[in-house]
Amino acid sequence: MAKRTSLEAAACPIARSMSEIGDAWSMLIIRDAMMGARRFSEFQKKLGLAKNILATRLRALVANGILTMEAAADGSAYQDYVLTAKGRAVFPVMVALRQWGEDHAFAPGECDNRLVDRQTSQPVRALELRSADGRLLSAGDTEVKFTTSGA
Amino acid sequence: MAKRTSLEAAACPIARSMSEIGDAWSMLIIRDAMMGARRFSEFQKKLGLAKNILATRLRALVANGILTMEAAADGSAYQDYVLTAKGRAVFPVMVALRQWGEDHAFAPGECDNRLVDRQTSQPVRALELRSADGRLLSAGDTEVKFTTSGA
DNA sequence: GCGAATGGTTTCATAATGCAACCACTAGGC
DNA sequence: GCCTAGTGGTTGCATTATGAAACCATTCGC
């Protein structure tokens, strides 16, 4: 049988994350939500995707606690989709994807937009990973450790 | 017609990134490659996915310059799949996904593994985004700016 | 040279995507 | 209150991707 393999219960946090936000449309929905989009039609217009697909994704994002539905801010009888704390926490992932894309997924000079610091309008630095005591870490300086205690 | 929408040519770096590495299996392949996996059967065993799917993903990753095939390190006639510089640059994305997953995709106490600094065995810090002049930035402190000059 | 492992490809069933049509409800003009 | 446009979906159907299993050519260990 060709049931699609689900990573929901994977032990690896990366696999879990991918199962919740590893879909292209979902990620772009979160991106637009971070940029202020709130309404169904707003997402549809910006993303240009079919309404049934959008409906499916929004339902999943709400079910996973990344978006919530609340009464529309403009006082109408409709609903707004707004990011929860969990949804806002996707920000570093978004920035990492953006920086990788800027550097590696465009021809030189092709990319026409950058993430900048609002105060100075200067491009932000590359994301940096640091140890508990503040040293800058790269891939080789890290490893995955299992907390094998039975807790 | 129901052709699957392609984000390959999207102007947004996030969309581009998702089209190259936004697939769950691809991301997990890169994860395992970072942890030292090199051979087809090694990926297949660790990931437990069908061989045809693995073959498709590996081909795409090679085509996108994230992996390269080179003569096997053990001297056999087989090939190794190894990360390119572009592939190794996915590291921050991986860390961001892992940290989000650890914090938001597990029940309390359920997650049994952490990314640690190899030197001290202490968990690493959360990824941090800084401005050019060193200030710590969160989502609201940033915006996307278009370099509207025709270069 | 022989059996097993490696690294795939092929076949076919099932699941997801996406366009288009349809529909209930809301908003706003008058 | 009535009519029309817009919002927020659902349903049906064609196309595409996923996945299990079977198959196959090379290569390895001996």
**Per-residue pLDDT at B149:** 59
Contacts of B4 in chain A (CB under 8 A): none
* Sign, CA torsion B98/B103/B107/B113: positive
- Residue A9 pLDDT level (bands cut at 50, 70, 90): confident
Q: Is the CB of B21 less than 8 angstroms away from the CB of A100?
A: yes
Q: CB of A39 under 7 A from strand D?
A: yes
Count of other CB atoms within 10 angstroms of residue B99: 24
Output the 3-class SS for A94-109.
HHHHHHHHHHHCCCCC
* Sign, CA torsion B124/B125/B131/B132: negative
Q: Which residues 111-150 in chain B show a CB within 8 A of chain A?
A: 111-133, 135, 137-148
Spatial neighbors of A11 by CB under 8 A, at least 6 apart, are B112, B113
User: pLDDT tens for residues A14-72?
Assistant: 999 999 999 999 999 999 999 999 999 999 999 999 999 999 999 999 999 999 999 99
Count of other CB atoms within 10 angstroms of residue A137: 20
- Residue B2 pLDDT level (bands cut at 50, 70, 90): low
**Per-residue pLDDT at B10:** 83
Report residue B95 as tokens.
Answer: 């860390």
**Contact criterion met (CB below 8 Å) for A92 and B129:** yes
Contacts of A141 in chain B (CB under 8 A): 117-119
Mean pLDDT, residues A76-80: 92
- Residue B33 pLDDT level (bands cut at 50, 70, 90): very high
DSSP string for B137-150: E-GGGEEEEE--S-
Q: Which residues pair with B146 in a beta bridge?
A: A113
**Contact criterion met (CB below 8 Å) for A110 and B78:** no
Closest residue in chain A to residue B151, using alpha carbons only: A109
**Per-residue pLDDT at A49:** 95
A12 to chain B, any CB pair closer than 8 A? The answer is: yes
Report residue A14 as tokens.
Answer: 């990366």
Q: Which residues pair with B71 in a beta bridge?
A: B79
Spatial neighbors of A50 by CB under 8 A, at least 6 apart, are none
Which three-class secondary structure state does DSSP give residue A71?
Answer: strand
Q: What are phi and psi of A108, to 5 degrees?
A: -55, 125
Mean pLDDT, residues A117-141: 96
Count of other CB atoms within 10 angstroms of residue A41: 11
* Sign, CA torsion A100/A101/A107/A111: negative
**Per-residue pLDDT at A76:** 87
What is the C-alpha separation between B97 and B95, in angstroms, rounded? Answer: 5
Determine whether A109 is exposed, middle or buried from the number of CB atoms within 10 Å of its CB (0-12, 13-18, 19+). Answer: exposed
Q: Which residues pair with B144 in a beta bridge?
A: A115
Count of other CB atoms within 10 angstroms of residue B79: 14
User: pLDDT tens for residues B110-130?
Assistant: 999 999 999 999 999 999 999
**Per-residue pLDDT at B145:** 94
